[in-house]
């Protein structure tokens, strides 16, 4: 599990504030997640890995998009990550 400070650091690294004041995932993080997942299941075809990464990224972005001030993050409401409270 991530500690709260680790969670804030992670969110700060992989997101940025987008248009309209919504937090969005960094494009580089999007690409690196696909590269990370590929060797975990080498028998899967690339489109399946791309789809799985897309689902995970969509979920993560959905949960993080409303976070304006990272210092106010409450880990109890981020359900797609395991956070040690």
* Alpha carbons 61 and 25: distance in angstroms, whole number: 6
pLDDT of residue 9: 93
Instruction: Output the pLDDT for position 15.
Output: 94
The answer to which of 9-18, 40-49, 74-83 has the lowest mean pLDDT is 74-83
At residue 23, φ and ψ (nearest 5 deg) are -80, 135
The CA angle 17-22-23, to the nearest 5 degrees, is 50
What's residue 25's pLDDT? 94
In this predicted structure, what is the pLDDT of residue 85? 52
Three-class SS state of 28: helix
Which residue(s) pair with 15 in the sheet?
25
- Higher pLDDT: 67 or 1? It is 67
pLDDT digits (tens, 9 = 90+) for 69-84: 898 888 777 777 665 5
Q: Between 81 and 28, name the one with better pLDDT.
A: 28
State the chain's mean pLDDT as an integer: 88
**Three-state SS string across 25-80, please?**
ECHHHHHHHHHHHHHHCCCCCHHHHHHHHHHHHHHHHHHHCCCCCHHHCCHHHCCC
């Amino acid at each position: 599990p991530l500690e709260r400070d680790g969670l804030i650091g992670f969110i700060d690294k992989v997101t940025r504030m987008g248009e309209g004041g919504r937090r969005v995932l960094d494009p580089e993080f999007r690409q690196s997640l696909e590269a990370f997942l590929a060797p975990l299941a080498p028998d899967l075809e690339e489109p399946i890995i791309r789809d799985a990464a897309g689902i995970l990224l969509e979920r993560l972005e959905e949960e993080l998009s409303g976070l304006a001030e990272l210092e106010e993050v409450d880990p109890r409401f981020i359900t797609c990550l395991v956070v040690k409270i």
